[in-house]
Chains A and B, each alone.
Chain A
Amino acid sequence: DAGITQSPRHKVTETGTPVTLRCHQTENHRYMYWYRQDPGHGLRLIHYSYGVKDTDKGEVSDGYSVSRSKTEDFLLTLESATSSQTSVYFCAIRPQGENTEAFFGQGTRLTVV
């Protein structure tokens, strides 16, 4: 295992409620990513982080915010969940330098009803 833990693994929430997903790593890697995966779209980047307090938007960032106050934790928040945010969310980590493979967590299945 690459030392990545996502929590929760499954969640059902109501439209309009805030939701926070957590990604925790034990590898001390610099880069962390949040993706969503939907049928026909593959993995789409939501936000990523290149260090503590350093984050940037991906291609589908609307409706999402992130925070990284410690190297090991990267939080994804849906401020007011909508049904279109029903998806499987994956966190990935990646070191800097020559070894640039990314390693993924097991995913969080989120359903917004």
Chain B
Amino acid sequence: QKEVEQDPGPLSVPEGAIVSLNCTYSNSAFQYFMWYRQYSRKGPELLMYTYSSGNKEDGRFTAQVDKSSKYISLFIRDSQPSDSATYLCAMSGEYGNKLVFGAGTILRVKS
């Protein structure tokens, strides 16, 4: 079983929809949770970063962490065609050692 599970999609939504992307994990030592966006043939870029449980909002993006359920989510409001990309969740333990990624979810926003 992988440490981090993420549905690869693709997820196809109409422009303006609310998008929900999710990851589950098995390692209770994970403390830091990140979401990356990756456009085709580019390196991943950091979208959101949260520490421990709770919510964090940045513009149209909201990240949620539920450590009791070992479940994290990224919500995108008012989705745009420019949001079409692969979204990767990532997480690590306390001391910045291994950074483990999910497989990535392909998102397509149709205009």
Contacts and interface: CB of A to CB of B under 8 A. Distances in A.
Nearest to B48: A101
Nearest to B42: A106
Contacts, number: 62
Contacts of B8: 40
Interface residues of A, number: 29
B104 A42 contact: yes
A15 B18 CA distance: 47
Given A40-B103, A42-B6, A50 B43 contact: no
A104 B92 CA distance: 16
B25 to A, nearest CB: 13
B58 to A, nearest CB: 13
Contacts of B41: 107
Contacts of A35: 101
A38 to B, nearest CB: 10
Q: What is the size category of the interface that chain B forms with chain A?
A: 20 to 34
Contacts of A100: 32, 49, 92, 96
Given A40-B8, A45-B98, A104 B103 contact: no
Given A42-B101, A43-B88, A96 B96 contact: yes
Interface of B: 6, 8, 32, 34, 36, 41-46, 49, 51, 88, 90, 92, 95-104
Interface of A: 30-31, 33, 35, 40-45, 48, 50, 56, 58, 90, 92, 94-98, 100-107
27 contacts: A31-B96, A40-B8, A40-B103, A42-B101, A42-B102, A42-B104, A43-B44, A43-B90, A43-B104, A45-B101, A48-B97, A48-B98, A48-B99, A50-B97, A58-B98, A94-B96, A94-B99, A100-B32, A100-B96, A101-B46, A102-B90, A103-B46, A104-B36, A105-B43, A106-B43, A107-B41, A107-B43
